[in-house]
């Protein structure tokens, strides 16, 4: 969704652009069944996975603007990031002899011309208009080791390694304004829920702040928006807690300091039948609206303004 358009994908292959203000259908495009996945909107374009590659369409008219063929070993895009000077970085997952790898491809988003290509080890996160970061993947034996974070300087000429540092988390929640947001359990790696939320500064390559959950509580996944971090602090859910009333607070933190700006007690939610996990999580945030729900997205959701 953008400020003017909602794009909906259907598993029969239809991609539909809807006017956000009126609800009227602006355009529709059809591809073979299952053709579209991982919809991205930015720079006035809708970027989607199509059979064998990636295609970009005009947000307003649905006209196809460019296509990008993926390397044969690459199956789907992990992420798409828009950058200055008409540059879009398409991050795709690929198979390799030593397991799962990725390739970041720099594309001119006016023509679809490939500008550069770089092998990466995991999904890239955008922290500012000239910086992408990646955390190395892990094996089961590495769960108790610290993660290696690569910071890349990105422009139309390429993606170059600027710095490398270590983090307690192998899977960032989100990133923005030069900060990587991660949740983890330093004392019990691999456990459900996060006991600690951290912000790492990619400019200086070190920890900027950390916040611990209250005793008997854990954090859901966090989201970054407008210089703030939105995260739910849940009372811990244990096996057999289905149908129990969950008490949770939405925390709003300053992204650069980790300071608490606001705390909002959320309406009581009932733990879904058969659910054992982290509790409520922030699924999306932006334009003054925070979407809160269960990680599986199969149950009720809250919208907070």
- pLDDT, residue 99, reads 56
Nearest CA among 103, 102, 101, 110 for reference residue 82? 110
List % helix, strand, coil for the chain (3-state, nearest 5): 0, 55, 40
Cβ–Cβ under 8 Å, residues 133 and 175:
yes
* Phi, psi for residue 60 in degrees, rounded to 5: -85, -35
pLDDT of the residue at 258: 95
* Torsion (CA) 82, 83, 86, 89 in degrees, nearest 10: -60
Instruction: Count Cβ neighbours within 10 Å for each residue of 164-178 and write b for 16 or more, e otherwise.
Output: ebebbbbebbbbbbb
Averaged over successive runs of 10 residues, the pLDDT of the chain (305 residues) comes to 74 80 86 66 86 85 89 80 94 71 89 91 84 68 64 93 74 85 73 82 85 90 92 76 75 96 88 69 83 70 78
Q: For residues 221 and 59, what is the distance between their CA atoms, to the nearest angstrom?
A: 29
**Closest to 201 in 3D by CA, of 220, 168, 178:** 178
pLDDT of amino acid 233: 94
DSSP per residue over 42-98, as a string? ETTEEEEEETTEEEEEETTT--EEEEEEPPTTEEEEEEEEEETTTEEEEEEEEEETT
What is the per-residue pLDDT for 115?
Answer: 96
pTM above 0.75, yes or no: no
């Amino acid at each position: 969704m953008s400020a003017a358009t909602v794009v909906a994908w259907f598993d029969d292959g239809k991609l539909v652009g809807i006017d956000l203000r009126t609800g009227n259908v602006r355009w529709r495009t059809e591809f073979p069944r299952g053709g579209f996945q991982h919809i991205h909107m930015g720079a006035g374009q809708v970027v989607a996975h199509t059979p064998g590659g990636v295609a970009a369409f005009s947000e307003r008219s649905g006209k196809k603007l460019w296509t990008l063929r993926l390397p044969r070993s690459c199956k789907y895009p992990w992420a798409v990031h828009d950058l200055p000077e008409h540059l879009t970085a398409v991050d795709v997952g690929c198979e390799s002899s030593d397991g799962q790898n990725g390739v970041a491809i720099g594309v001119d988003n006016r023509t679809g011309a490939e500008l550069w290509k770089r092998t990466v080890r995991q999904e890239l996160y955008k922290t500012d208009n000239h910086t992408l970061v990646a955390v190395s993947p892990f094996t089961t034996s590495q769960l108790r080791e610290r993660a290696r974070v690569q910071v890349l300087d990105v422009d139309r000429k390429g993606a170059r390694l600027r710095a490398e540092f270590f983090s307690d988390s192998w899977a960032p929640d989100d990133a923005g304004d030069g900060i990587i947001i991660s949740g983890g359990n330093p004392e019990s790696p691999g456990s459900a829920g996060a006991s600690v939320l951290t912000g790492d500064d990619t400019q200086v390559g070190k920890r900027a702040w950390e916040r611990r959950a209250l005793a008997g509580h854990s954090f859901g996944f966090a989201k970054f928006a407008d210089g703030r971090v939105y995260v739910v602090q849940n009372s811990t859910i244990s096996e057999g807690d289905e149908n129990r009333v969950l008490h949770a607070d939405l925390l709003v933190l300053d992204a650069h300091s980790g300071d608490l700006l606001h705390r909002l007690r959320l309406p009581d939610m009932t733990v879904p039948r058969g659910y054992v996990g982290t509790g409520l999580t922030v699924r999306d945030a932006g334009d003054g609206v925070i979407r809160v729900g269960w990680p599986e997205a199969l149950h009720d959701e809250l919208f907070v303004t």
